[in-house]
Chain A
Amino acid sequence: MTASATVLAGGIARRLGSAVAVLLGAATLAFLTLQLIPGDPVSVLLGPSNAGSPEVRAEIAREYGFDRPVADQYLHYLGRLLQGDLGQSYQLQRPVWSLMTDQLWPTVQLALSALVLAVVLAVVSAVATAGRRPAFRAVASVWELISASTPSYWVGIVLLTVFSFRFHVFPVAGAEDFASLVLPAVTLALPLTGVLAQVLREGLEAALEQPFVVTARSRGVGRTAVRLRHALRHCAVPLLTLTGWLTGSLIGGAVLVETVFGRPGIGSLVLQAVSAKDMPVVIGVVLLSAFVFVVISTVVELLYPVIDPRLRSA
């Protein structure tokens, strides 16, 4: 008992350590980027078509300590981050932290619904077609390939053209109600579905070759039941890993989807920040993405032994 508790504590400590390392890396990279952008850093922070009065410029230089040695600036910057101070957006004149928290919920809503939709569609598609007639399989994998490789920007516009502009089923944009979430979630989910279903089918087919399938079938278990109860469990670990990994990419996808559909969220915030060269906000979102990535990969790792008992002893 104590031994396994030590192992567990060690595992947690290791994970925490790597989480801190990833976050530190992201923060350092963001800092270096700001240093490496050529030109006067105050101009970079202010963005284009903004000369800024001498007073405003002096205030920014003081806040960021541009007059001090780089090592000094770096420590100062890390110190501010430790206190949860992500700085102030010069375009929006508001703290970066509150900007992000304001925009977080619509994006989480979008990302979660897209994720659930993608997993459900992928499982249905893979279970229905794995190891069945080749024609079935071919149709499914062509469709998955298309959905994985079509730009979501384009998919979004096509969906809008059909379901909103032509048939008026869903509203063009916004985030007021459930109806306005459907098209954006589908748009964001499609490429994920494609990738997940392909990987899942491969896994299922490999599992169906295993001897235990024959055993189960000989006990009178139906074809679909075997897939759902036994084979699926075998490919759950790679599926989970991939899902976790793809979740990290959802913020990137959200940028396009939120723009096309005129939805609020982190994506539209970062797009606005990038086009206005609002560096404090860009850095804030980079750190947030790194944090989300760390959390998801930790959760995924913790779930492995739950799914696959063989991993528990390790």
Chain B
Amino acid sequence: MRPTLSRLGRTLAVGVSGLLLLSACSSGGDSTAKTAGSGKPVSGGTLTAAVDTEPVSWDIHASTQDVTAEISRGVFDSLVSQDSDGKFHPWLATKWEVSEDFKSYTFHLRDDVTFTDGAKFDASVVKANFDHIVAKETKSLYAANLLGPYTGTDVIDPRTVKVNFSKAFAPFLQAASTTYLGFYSPEALKAGSGKLAAGGPADVGSGPFVFSAYTKGQSATLTRNPDYAWAPETATHTGAAYLDKVVVRFLPTASVRAGALTSGQVQVAKAIPPQNVASVKAAPGLNLISRANPGGNYNLWLNGSIAPLDDVRVRKAIQRGIDVEQDVKTVTFGQYPRAWSPISPTTPDYDKSLEGSWPYDPKLSAQLLDEAGWTGRDAQGYRTKAGKRLTVDWPQLSIQATREGRDVLGQAVQADLKKVGIEVKRPNLDIGTYNTQVYGGKANIIDLSWPRFEPDVLWLFFNSASAPAKGGLNATFIADPSFDKWTDQGRATLDEKTRADVYPKVQQRGIDLAVVVPLYTQVSLVGQSDKVKGLTFNPSNWLTYYDAWLAKK
């Protein structure tokens, strides 16, 4: 036992000094990344990566999980590919035409693409896959939403396919670039959703890797597809992948993941906890990549439909009464930037002008609450009006609350708002009650984040058609004509000018109406060995292994 304890003592000492080091230099917005390969790429080798979550379902057409899409990206190709500026590039489709009304998309397909089981990729495969996504038996929980108002696919000839929608649907190209709308071989589709969800060799695609093995609770193995010759234009090379094999291991315990990386048992580790960032950076032969996720930030949504938050002055008092900067910095060890807009800076049409526009101002909060008539004080120091205490409830779900230290951040918010006289109650609810309360519009505050590389997430958050009663995510619970107009306009066009006009307006109005209090932007923290070169991220911030290679030595 003694060596164990002294070893532990040393580990603790290193950990503590790491923390000190981190707090000493936490203000630096360190997001430098050595992602680009240096030197000439070499083929061969096995890259082992550790991730924190394991896919529940491997069926890309059914799953809602990022991790499924990320790992499966190596196995499945899409019609188009999107770059980090939001522009679309050819992939399985060489070119495409979009109808004036955005109700149909015609794709011209490559004719040299084969699946790894030998089947040929053609127009009928596109139709079969899209029809599979919307079929009832697939029980799709996400891809079917990405297909929007899909009505069907016409096979015009083997190399031409036309996808139709009942309404204008501009976000389709973005959707078509994701793994969720990737293509299974016709034989794989016949195997049925259960087989596809189970993972492994049944999941046959046309990508640079073959899904060769899967052990639940342990690892997934991808093996190089030597015949791959149809890389998207967004990749840095063509032809087969450099790596022989990619092994993705599922290590949910953060310290184990970090230990596996520092001891060289894995070359890449995702989701490095903020408190371990300093020690990974300090370790010889390792470096850290930190990248802000696109899409919806981690936001508080204020329910404007019921008292007391139906008064914009009270909502504003909450927005300005939380010391977001300080709270976020403390809880995330300075690794996550505080947010100013409901969407992150890495999302297209992000409104940079919001930055610094609504700083912490408890005096203003007090003034607004006075104006709103909450002038009394009770024995505990909370404000009252007509003898009633100013109380808001913000329910939490225990399994989600602890993620990223969100429970601690919640306590900081509670403490801030207490200072201005607002009581925040945080009842811990079970899933059934939580869903009923929160999505039934009975809670005052809801917290959620929703990553996606597309400003159309603003439609999901603000459009009245996205009301939770209809399965949407509009947690403001208000129906605002301006929000509806702008988010509908953005969704109905790919015109960059229009989008750059309406989406900033939505973000601005969300802050002005104080229906949202953005807290922080989630950041991917990935540790990697110096030997790993060319590991890239796609616009959704998912690791892509196709261009990666291992330096010898």
Contact = CB atoms under 8 A, between A and B. Distances in A.
Interface residues of A, number: 58
A272 B255 CA distance: 19
Contacts of B1: 143, 146
A280 interface: no
A157 B255 contact: yes
Contacts of A90: 139
A262 B251 contact: yes
A171 B193 CA distance: 34
B144 interface: yes
A272 B54 contact: yes
B3 interface: yes
Contact of B8 (A55, A158, A269): A158
B256 A172 contact: yes
B62 A93 contact: yes
Interface in B407-448: 430-436
B197 A93 contact: yes
A161 B259 contact: yes
Contacts of B197: 92-94
Contacts of A53: 140, 144
B216 A268 contact: yes
A173 B256 contact: yes
A5 B141 CA distance: 59
B56 A92 contact: yes
A67 interface: no
A83 B471 CA distance: 36
B56 A91 contact: yes
Interface in A168-213: 168, 171-175
B260 interface: yes
A41 B216 CA distance: 28
A47 B64 CA distance: 12
A275 interface: yes
A39 B263 contact: no
A52 B140 CA distance: 8
B431 A39 contact: yes
A82 interface: no
Given A39-B430, A272-B54, A262 B218 contact: yes
A102 interface: yes
A174 B136 CA distance: 37
B8 A161 contact: yes
B62 A264 contact: no
16 contacts: A37-B430, A43-B431, A103-B217, A106-B217, A157-B253, A157-B255, A160-B256, A165-B259, A165-B260, A172-B266, A173-B251, A262-B217, A262-B219, A262-B252, A263-B217, A268-B54
Given A39-B435, A158-B4, 16 more contacts: A37-B430, A40-B436, A43-B435, A52-B141, A59-B136, A92-B197, A94-B194, A103-B216, A160-B256, A161-B8, A161-B259, A162-B4, A168-B263, A259-B252, A272-B56, A278-B56
